[in-house]
Amino acid sequence: MGFTPLEGLMMGTRSGDVDLGVLLYLAEKEDLSIQDTNTLFNKKSGVYGISGISYDMRDIEKAAGQGVERAQLALDMYAYRVKKYIGAYAAAMKGVDLIIFAGGIGENDIETRKKILEGMEFLGVEFDPARNAKVRGREFILTKPGSKVVVMVMPTNEELVIAIDTYNIVYDADFRI
């Protein structure tokens, strides 16, 4: 994420990285105000905008399983863009030792993790689809023993972190777990 959540990875309702020319084209073509354009890119884009169904990957996966092409496109685009970011950051860091999947999709979405990790052997990822199929929502290593790059699922509690940070700001404290 950059200055706003629009930069970076496509999300449930946010577009992620987009050519600025697209924003200008859509605003002009659809006669959108600045506020309308903001709403379009922050609330009606991402996997929701592509699928036309939902921002919830579970709903999109269900629709894709029923043959809804836009749902499958949203899943494919999301996995492609995550994979692209992993590759970009690996290049910027001159390699990677560990890739962590966290948050709702990273912790629970077996198929999306599989799509992202397939073809990552060039980075040193020895992905184990059988291990991946076993895990939802708990700490687990997804790569084969001896993999140069370890890939794992790491559950997070974002609400707790926000609460602790808020407490520390309000009370000028340094509370930690």
Write down all domains in the chain, each with its CATH number in brackets. 1-93 (3.30.420.40), 96-177 (3.30.420.40)
pTM: 0.83
In the chain, which residues have pLDDT < 70? 1
What's the Rg (C-alpha) of the chain? 18
Give the integer Cα–Cα distance in Å for 72 and 64. Answer: 5
pLDDT at 51: 97
Asked if residue 52 lies in contact with residue 70, where contact means CB atoms within 8 angstroms, the answer is: yes
Which residues have C-beta within 8 Å of that of residue 8, sequence separation ≥ 6?
1, 2, 16, 17, 85
| β-bridge mates for residue 137, sequence order | none
Interaxial angle between packed helices 20-29 and 34-43, expressed in degrees from 0 to 180 and rounded to the nearest 10: 120
pLDDT at 10: 81
What residues pair up with 98 in beta bridges, in sequence order?
A: 150
- Report the pLDDT value the prediction gives residue 1, as an integer from 0 to 100: 60
Determine the Cα–Cα distance for residues 49 and 67; give it in Å rounded to an integer: 18
96: which DSSP letter?
Answer: -
Neighbours of 62 (CB within 10 A): 14
Residue 127 has phi, psi (to 5 degrees) of: -65, 140
- What is the C-alpha separation between 119 and 121, in angstroms, rounded? 6
- Per the CB < 8 A criterion, the answer to whether 51 and 15 are in contact is no
Long-range contacts formed by 165-173: CB under 8 A, 24+ apart: none
Task: Identify the pLDDT of residue 110.
Answer: 94
